[in-house]
């Protein structure tokens, strides 16, 4: 059963301006070390940062309400073949167990000026967590 759906869109130039203005202070507050390293291996790191930020926001929208979370408790990683998945820590793990959310589907895309992410959460019996 679907628990929640979230979608978010981020302007890539806006992400670039935030990084240029706030630098590592911004990056280290929003992204994990692994995410930062992955993005800066790319030709255009701001595109990869933007879709990861969109993924974090989309997950928060899909969940609906969870108090005082850290964006670093949500990590976007790529598995075999490049498929993006979410690794969750902290309050998200507790929330998912309490609400029996067993699957997280993530789709990322970007085109010219924008990065977009969609998250679908499935509820059911507790199975293997992320």
In the set 61, 91, 99, 105, the catalytic residue is 61
110 flagged as catalytic: yes
In a 10 Å sphere around its CB, with 0-12 CB exposed, 13-18 middle and 19+ buried, how is residue 21 labelled? exposed
In the set 72, 99, 103, 110, the catalytic residue is 110
Q: Are 64 and 2 in contact (CB under 8 A)?
A: no
Query: Cα–Cα distance between 10 and 107 in angstroms, integer?
Result: 14
Q: Are 75 and 87 in contact (CB under 8 A)?
A: yes
72 flagged as catalytic: no
Residues annotated catalytic, as ranges: 61, 110
């Amino acid at each position: 059963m679907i628990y929640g759906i979230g979608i978010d869109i981020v302007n890539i130039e806006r992400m670039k301006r935030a990084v240029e203005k706030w630098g590592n202070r911004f990056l280290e507050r929003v992204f994990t070390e692994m995410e930062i390293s992955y993005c800066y291996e790319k030709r255009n790191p701001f595109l990869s940062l933007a879709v990861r930020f969109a993924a974090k926001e989309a997950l928060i929208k899909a969940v609906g309400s969870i108090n005082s979370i850290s964006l670093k408790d949500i990590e976007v990683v790529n598995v075999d073949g490049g498929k993006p998945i979410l690794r969750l820590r902290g309050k998200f793990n507790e929330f998912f167990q309490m609400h029996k959310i067993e699957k997280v589907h993530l789709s990322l895309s970007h085109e010219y000026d924008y990065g977009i992410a969609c998250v679908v959460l499935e509820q059911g019996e507790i199975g293997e967590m992320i």
